[in-house]
Amino acid sequence: MMKYIVPLLALGLLFSSCDDTRAKLHEKYLEFVMHTDNLDSIHDAMTAKHQNLKKKSMTLEERLADLEMTDSAALVDLKEHQGLLNEQAAKLKEIQKILSEHQGMNDNMVKDSDDLAAATEKIEEINAANEKISANLNKIQEELNKIHEDQQEIEKDMAKKDSTDM
């Protein structure tokens, strides 16, 4: 009788440890979902800021052309800004695609997964991707801030030239 009880206890212990592992994995999954939602919100705000700066860049370029300014440095800066904004648009689009894929995953990935190792590996991959996205968003934010500052300087220079032309 004892030889049947010991294996049954071992089996029970094995199944209960799998449930504990599954619960921990599910907690990691929920953290990933919150992180992805946060990145998505940041991405949306950054996309809006990007669009505003792109419009402002086009407006400034038109104003500079209308003023027939001899200082072409501002035009060169604006062309550089527009190139950078185009690069950022591609990065933001790529980030949105990845975030959409992450959000498409469902809770059943962890709950119904028979292969906990594969589910763990997938969550680790996604977390690594989220960290990369976060770093890219930080870099884009820094670039957007620099473009904004440059545009303000160009506007100040234009205002000075407008006041001296009158």
pLDDT grade for 135, boundaries at 50, 70 and 90: very high
Task: Read off the tokens for 38.
Answer: 């946060």
DSSP states of 129-158? HHHHHHHHHHHHHHHHHHHHHHHHHHHHHH
**Residue range 35-63, pLDDT digits in tens:** 888 888 899 999 999 999 999 888 888 87
**Residue range 67-92, pLDDT digits in tens:** 665 567 777 888 888 899 999 999 99
Query: How far out from the chain centre does Cα 71 lie?
Result: 37
* Residues 140-155, mean pLDDT to the nearest whole number: 90
- pLDDT at residue 93, rounded to an integer: 92
Query: In terms of pTM, does the model score above 0.75?
Result: no
